[in-house]
Amino acid sequence: MDDLMVVVQMVTYNHEKYVEQAIESVMMQKTSFRYKLIIAEDYSTDRTREICIELKNKYPDKIDLLLNSRNLGVTLNALQVHKACIASGAKYVAICEGDDYWTDPLKLQKQVDFLESNSDFILCAHYRYLQDSDEHLVLQESPISDVMDGADLAHGVTFHSATALFRNFKSESEFPFWIVDCPIADWALFVYLGQFGHIKILAEHMMVYRFTRTGIFSSLSVIQSTRNYIQTASMLLQRISENQTRTNLKQLIAGQYIKLLSLHHSPSIEKNIRLKVFREIHLTGVRYSWKQYRYMIIYLFDIFFKRRKFSIN
């Protein structure tokens, strides 16, 4: 157990209500190998830092703390924790956010066992629970195949980052640091990794993702989520050369534009929101060139003139 097998990365900011449970869920892992947790604490204004320090003192050999002297923000904080994971020399990387937690003490062992026995797989993930603000747990069955690759994920399908264990990068020169600038960075990373190996989804629920009901299904949040997919897929297109993945990304972009258009024309949406949708379509199109409009037009022709079935993801 001398060599470090797994490094778990955790970014946290103002998670005083949740971070102790998140950290303890990592510390409870029962493994036949050595692992450690790297926490990037982003200068919280609540007790998050104090809690992290207390738990570092409780588990001095299993926790490394990155205590920022100022608030770096999501992008820079993610950047430093990625670099720390690479520098650790661990064979695998796992993720656990400061407001989520794992539920199975054998989670890491199960995932490592699978990847150790299947060298053609680059990542192993699993199902999750959803927990709302009232502490209700809901089983979330994932509507995806148990084996996928980057092209499959390019349809917009994904899994929660805290379910993933993937093979570490050997050096910083191998890591796609442009990913931290993507609006949906975890999905972008998984699509990228899927170019180098298969992805396994274990049919077990081994973590909890917290979410709040307030505003999660609002029209404005749908607009922003849609735009985030367009931007992230556009950035992936600039970096990925595999044909099927590129085709699926283009179809995703077209579908997301159609979603924006459907919101713009929806009579159930207030006028000010429809105007925002129209503005988002215009801004996104200008920013990411006329080619995305071409994808949308081609897809619309396929739908209406070839009578293909279509459903918005």
98 membership: H or E segment, kind and range: none
With a cut of 70, say whether residue 312 has pLDDT above it. no
Q: What are phi and psi of 61, to 5 degrees?
A: -90, -5
What is the average pLDDT across 15-42?
98
Q: What is the pLDDT of residue 272?
A: 58
Q: Which percentage of the chain shows pLDDT scores above 70?
A: 77
Q: What is the pLDDT of residue 282?
A: 53
Q: What sign for the dihedral angle of Cα 185, 188, 194, 195?
A: negative
Q: What are phi and psi of 44, to 5 degrees?
A: -65, 155
Q: What is the mean pLDDT of the chain?
A: 85
Domain boundaries, the chain: 4-210, 219-305
What is the average pLDDT across 74-103?
97
Q: What confidence category does residue 78 fall into, taking pLDDT thresholds of 50, 70 and 90?
A: very high
Contact assessment for residue 75 and residue 127, using Cβ atoms and an 8 Å cutoff: no
Q: What is the pLDDT of residue 278?
A: 54
Q: How many CA atoms lie within 13 A of 141 on its CB side?
A: 1
Q: What is the pLDDT of residue 294?
A: 58
303 membership: H or E segment, kind and range: helix 291-305
Q: Regarding the domain with residue range 4-210, which homologous superfamily does it belong to in the CATH classification?
A: Spore Coat Polysaccharide Biosynthesis Protein SpsA; Chain A (3.90.550.10)
With a cut of 90, say whether residue 133 has pLDDT above it. no
Q: What is the pLDDT of residue 44?
A: 98
Q: In this predicted model, what pLDDT tens digit does every residue of 194-205 receive, in sequence order? A: 999 999 999 999
Contact assessment for residue 42 and residue 82, using Cβ atoms and an 8 Å cutoff: no
**Structure token digits, residue 174:** 């191998």
Q: 3-state class of 66 per DSSP?
A: strand
Cα gap 21→95, rounded to integer Å: 15
Q: What is the pLDDT of residue 53?
A: 99
- Whose structure tokens read 């794992």? 102
Q: In this predicted model, what pLDDT tens digit does every residue of 136-175 receive, in sequence order? A: 677 766 556 899 999 999 999 889 999 999 999 999 999 9
With a cut of 60, say whether residue 220 has pLDDT above it. no
Q: In this predicted model, what pLDDT tens digit does every residue of 237-280 receive, in sequence order? A: 999 999 999 999 988 988 888 777 776 555 555 555 555 555 55
Cα gap 293→172, rounded to integer Å: 36
Q: In this predicted model, what pLDDT tens digit does every residue of 149-158 receive, in sequence order? A: 999 999 998 8
Q: What is the pLDDT of residue 287?
A: 46
With a cut of 50, say whether residue 308 has pLDDT above it. no
Q: How many CB atoms lie within 10 A of CB 29?
A: 20
With a cut of 70, say whether residue 286 has pLDDT above it. no
Q: What confidence category does residue 212 fall into, taking pLDDT thresholds of 50, 70 and 90?
A: low
With a cut of 70, say whether residue 306 has pLDDT above it. no
With a cut of 70, say whether residue 236 has pLDDT above it. yes
With a cut of 60, say whether residue 211 has pLDDT above it. yes
Closest-CA residue to 137 (of 222, 221, 206): 206
